[in-house]
Amino acid sequence: MAVIGAGGAGLVTMQELIKMGHTVICFESESMIGGTWNFETSSRTSVYKNLRTNLPRELMAFEQYKMRPKDDAEGSFTGDARRFASHSEITGWIKSYAEEFSLNQFIRFSTEVKNVVKVEDQWVVTALSNDVESVDKFDSVCIANGHYEAMVKPDLKGHDIFPNQIAHSHDYKTPTDYTGKRVLFLGASFSGEDISRDMSSEIAQGWLVARRPGVSNPEKSPIGAKENIDRVRGTIDELRADGSVLLTTGDVLENVDCVMLCTGYAFNYPFLNQVEGLKWD
Ligand SMILES: Cc1cc2nc3c(=O)[nH]c(=O)nc-3n(C[C@H](O)[C@H](O)[C@H](O)COP(=O)(O)OP(=O)(O)OC[C@H]3O[C@@H](n4cnc5c(N)ncnc54)[C@H](O)[C@@H]3O)c2cc1C
């Protein structure tokens, strides 16, 4: 069996398959396990410096591997014992899980799957590692390549003349990159809510603009104690060459330094392009 990706989903899949007696090879394009939680090292991560989980560790853990070291009920993997832990604690837990079940030996690191096709009864997986191509055949392929990497970006009128930054939440890493700026956050789901909150201590002014209420109470404006974030029910009508933004409410926001698109991600399986009749949304 092949597994594509050694993030949390790929690792738990591997462990279950091995338990059932299958022979498993996992392909991982990065040089380490952990997927998107590897803030420090992954080139593909969507995590940011101050991110803490939005699930308590008791719920987020795998059933067979708690998010507490076995020998220390009150302890942690990295010194962060908080219930809603930091990304480094999650990475520590994932690494510990892989060690516990000796999974690393089955992973081909720095090996990116480029193509998967079915030939008669088998799946042929072509991968690339340091410019060297490998071709292997498998009975089955499990895809665990994550779904928080391919950015969804709305086609905004005026995006080509707007003189200031247009970024996606995938690019957001640390609030100090935005010190003193005026930032429009488009979208008020988990990313919009959390990133605007995280940035509010650094930015001069923020607007959280969304058609639908966000994940927290929409009547509560500004969010939390952060009085420099205004919540606007609507969306962007037009980005303008003078750095202002016209909203569908008719309001014009002046001197917007950055439009941060908190508009989510799409499923993306580029290596399946040659499989006939396969579609995904
Ligand atoms: C900002 C953010 C916050 C989140 N917060 C939480 C939270 O608090 N709690 C929670 O439970 N979940 C949270 N999540 C969801 C998170 O995605 C999951 O927790 C988990 O990391 C998903 O694991 P995964 O293995 O599916 O994907 P990933 O962790 O993305 O791993 C996918 C792996 O596949 C590899 N890969 C991709 N393509 C290829 C290829 N072609 N060849 C080889 N390898 C490939 C990648 O390098 C990566 O290592 C959050 C996600 C984001 C983006």
Ligand 1 probe mutation, 148, 197, 272, most atoms within 8 A of CB:
148
Token pair recorded at residue 93:
């837990």
pLDDT score at 223 = 54
User: From the CB of 7, is ligand 1 less than 6 Å away?
Assistant: yes
Give DSSP secondary structure letters for 83-117: SS-BHHHHHHHHHHHHHHTT-GGGEETT-EEEEEE
By CB neighbour count within 10 A (0-12 exposed, 13-18 middle, 19+ buried), where does 155 fall? exposed
User: Does the beta carbon of 60 lie inside 6 Å of ligand 1?
Assistant: yes
Instruction: Going from the first residue of the chain to its last (281 residues), give the mean pLDDT of each consecutive group of 10, the final group possibly shorter.
Output: 98 97 98 94 91 93 85 74 92 96 98 96 97 98 96 97 98 97 95 93 94 61 68 95 97 98 95 84 70
Q: Is 37 in the pocket of ligand 1 (CB under 6 A)?
A: yes
All domains of the chain in start order, with CATH:
2-146 (3.50.50.60), 151-265 (3.50.50.60)
pLDDT value, residue 216 = 55
Which one-letter DSSP state was computed for residue 31? S
The per-residue pLDDT for 280 is 75
